[in-house]
Amino acid sequence: MSDPLILCCGEAVLDMVPATLVGGGAGFRPVPGGGALNCAVALARQGVAAGFVGALSSDPAGARLAAHMQAEGVSLELATRTDHPCPLALAQPIAGGTRFDLYDSGSAGALYAASDLPDPLPDSTRALVFGGISLIASPAAEAFETLARRGADTRLIWLDLNIRPGLVRAPERYRARLMRMAALADVVKVSDEDLCWLGPGALDDLRRLAPLVLHTRGEDGATAHWATQSLTLPAPRVQAVDTVGAGDIFNAAVLADLARSGLLAKPLDLPEPTLRAALAHGIRCASDSVTRPGADAPKEKETPCAP
- Compute the C-alpha angle 148/38/302, nearest 5°: 125
Name the 3-class secondary structure at 242.
coil
Looking at the predicted structure, is the pLDDT value of residue 271 above 70? yes
Per the annotation, the verdict on 123 as an active-site residue is no
| DSSP tag of 53 | E
Looking at the predicted structure, is the pLDDT value of residue 307 above 50? no
Question: For the ranges 50-59, 87-96, 168-177, 264-273, which has the lowest average pLDDT?
Answer: 87-96
pTM for the whole structure: 0.94
Looking at the predicted structure, is the pLDDT value of residue 305 above 70? no
Domains in the chain, ordered, with CATH? Answer: 6-12+34-84+110-302 (3.40.1190.20)
Q: What is the pLDDT of residue 304?
A: 58
Distance, CA of 48 to CA of 44 (rounded, Å): 5
Alpha-carbon torsion 110, 115, 121, 122, what sign? negative
Q: How far apart are the first and last CA of the chain?
A: 33
State the virtual CA torsion across 147, 149, 150, 151 in degrees, nearest 10: 90
Q: Of residues 104, 160, 194, 248, which has the active-site annotation?
A: 248
pLDDT, one tens digit per residue, over 6-42 is: 999 999 999 998 888 888 888 888 999 999 999 999 9
What is the mean predicted confidence (pLDDT) over 151-167?
A: 95
pLDDT, one tens digit per residue, over 182-193 is: 999 999 999 999
State the virtual CA torsion across 3, 123, 247, 144 in degrees, nearest 10: 120
When pLDDT is cut at 50, 70 and 90, the band that residue 216 belongs to is very high
Distance, CA of 291 to CA of 246 (rounded, Å): 10
Q: What is the pLDDT of residue 96?
A: 67
> Which of 79, 142, 78 lies closest to 110 in space, CA to CA?
142
